[in-house]
């Protein structure tokens, strides 16, 4: 009886733990390992964004968080990093950030570009900062800390929507 109860409650408990990276849309699988054959050279400002974003690793997650000492959410991470590393003032959530800069193809990604995902069943519900070699840094709440992920993992490749660049 207890096993049956745990089996029934486990999916609901897992769904409750996942916030910025939950509720998958239909699979698209638009990214593969071959998408990153020739890495693009990033500007010094873009490299600074990438390096600064790595300094945020293990920062705690906080929904709506814009301050690393109190915790960051995905858009808070992006706005904080761009303000500190590139002296760019960005505002808003992932969807509003998706209207900034210009779109870039996956095979043209450079360090510092923004990568957008549909994780909540609505467009541009999650954002991260591309690092190079198919990796990005972001602030999900499923494990509670800013971390690095691969775009080619099944979860992220199925939810990828677009990338945008804010720096030359």
Tokens 């808070």 appear where? 76
* 74 counts as catalytic: yes
Rg, Å, the chain Cα set: 16
Q: CA 110, 113, 117 angle in degrees (round to 5)?
A: 120
Q: How many angstroms separate the CA atoms of 139 and 88, rounded?
A: 19
Comparing 20 with 44, which gets the higher pLDDT?
A: 44
Q: Report the predicted TM-score, pTM, of the whole model to 2 decimal places.
A: 0.80
> Does the pLDDT value for residue 10 go beyond 60?
no
* 80 counts as catalytic: no
Q: How many angstroms separate the CA atoms of 122 and 116, rounded?
A: 11
pLDDT tens per residue, range 94-113: 999 999 999 999 999 999 99
> Does the pLDDT value for residue 5 go beyond 50?
no
Q: Which residues contact 26 (CB under 8 A, 6 or more apart)?
A: none
> What residues make up the domain containing 39?
2-165
> Which CATH number goes with the domain that contains 71?
3.90.1720.10
* 20 counts as catalytic: no
Picking from 23, 48, 160, the residue whose alpha carbon sits closest to that of residue 98 is: 160
How many distinct structural domains can be found in the chain?
Answer: 1
3, 20, 80, 138: which is the annotated catalytic residue?
138
């Amino acid at each position: 009886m207890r096993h049956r109860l745990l089996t029934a409650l486990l999916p609901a408990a897992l769904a409750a733990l996942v916030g910025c990276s939950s509720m998958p849309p239909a699979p698209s699988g638009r990214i593969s390992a071959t998408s990153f054959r020739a890495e693009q050279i990033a500007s010094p400002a873009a490299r600074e964004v990438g390096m600064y974003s790595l300094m945020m690793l293990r920062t705690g997650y906080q929904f709506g968080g814009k301050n690393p000492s109190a915790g960051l959410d995905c858009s808070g991470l992006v706005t904080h990093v761009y303000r500190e590393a590139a002296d760019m003032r960005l505002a808003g959530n992932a969807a509003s950030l998706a209207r900034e800069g210009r779109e870039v193809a996956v095979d043209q990604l450079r360090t510092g570009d923004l990568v957008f995902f549909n994780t909540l069943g609505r467009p541009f519900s999650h954002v991260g900062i591309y690092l190079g070699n198919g990796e990005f840094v972001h602030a999900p709440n499923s494990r509670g800390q800013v971390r690095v992920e691969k775009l080619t993992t099944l979860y992220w490749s199925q939810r990828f929507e677009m990338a945008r660049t804010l720096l030359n």
